[in-house]
Amino acid sequence: MQPFEILEYGQFYHIYNHGVGGRNLFLEPGNYEYFLGLYDKYISPIAETYAWCLMPNHFHLLVRIKNNVVYKYSNADGSIDAVRFKEAKWQTVESNLTASEGPVSVGENRIKIPQPHLHFSHLFNAYSKYLNSRHEARGALFERPFRRKLIDNLNYRREVVVYIHCNPIHHGFCTHPVEYPWSSFLSCTSDKATKLKRDEVIGWFGGKNEYEEWHKKKTDMHKMDWELGID
């Protein structure tokens, strides 16, 4: 595994990280909710989410980096999906342009291509500041760099979805994914509105019944941990 590999447009990645020195990332329910709010702000504009799980001292995500998004310069400082780069606001917008380096001009608009790893860095930095302030703590919160693994085939994507949802079982928090509140397991079978790409996820398994059956199978979590370099 190459933890420093660049996040490429259009590719699927398993993204995961731990707290520094085993430090807990989430100390109360409100912490999980705040992280998810920041995740929507910083990550949803540049990536589609297929599975997620937040554990007390680590997290797992399955995402696909969007390949049709650019930044358009915006003075709307109140925009919730604009990201600050060097004191300038750049709002993500969909485009059919291909990736290029640096700002360019198209008509009257200045645009540039996102650097996805910076969005994740902004997420982790914003959450670290929040948690330290909220709980009167200091110091680094997340291990650096955050870990990522390219997922390049359908069967592995299915295995990663199950691995992510079964993590709470693996660590002794529950006996079935349905019992754990901070994962996307239930979102995949719910009818409630969600930004999760659940139709695609269910399609990978061949339907809701098959999706649930895959989660009942015994998964070699230790083998997956080893492959991901997780102690």
Task: Tell me, yes or no, whether 41 and 128 share the same domain.
Answer: yes
Task: Tell me, yes or no, whether 55 and 153 share the same domain.
Answer: yes
Task: Tell me, yes or no, whether 152 and 221 share the same domain.
Answer: yes
Amino acid at 205: F
> Which string of b and e fits 135-174 if b means at least 16 CB within 10 Å?
eeeeeebbbeebbbbebeeeeebbbbbbbbbbbbbeeeee
- Examine residue 5 and state whether it is found in any structural domain, yes or no: no
Task: Tell me, yes or no, whether 98 and 212 share the same domain.
Answer: no
Task: Tell me, yes or no, whether 94 and 125 share the same domain.
Answer: no
Task: Tell me, yes or no, whether 52 and 141 share the same domain.
Answer: yes
Report the pLDDT averaged over residues 21-45. 94
Q: Considering the entire predicted model, what is its pTM?
A: 0.83
Predicted pLDDT at 164: 96
The residue whose two tokens read 């925009």 is 79
Task: Work out how many domains the chain is built from and give that number.
Answer: 2
Dump pLDDT digits (tens) for 163-187: 999 999 999 999 999 999 999 999 9
Task: Tell me, yes or no, whether 48 and 99 share the same domain.
Answer: no
CA distance 57 to 50: 21
Q: Which helix (H) or strand (E) holds 41?
A: helix 29-42
Dump pLDDT digits (tens) for 83-99: 554 444 555 555 555 54
Domain of residue 77: give its range: 69-116
Task: Tell me, yes or no, whether 60 and 122 share the same domain.
Answer: yes
Q: How far is CA 165 from CA 39, 45, 93, 169, 217, in A?
A: 18, 24, 31, 8, 12
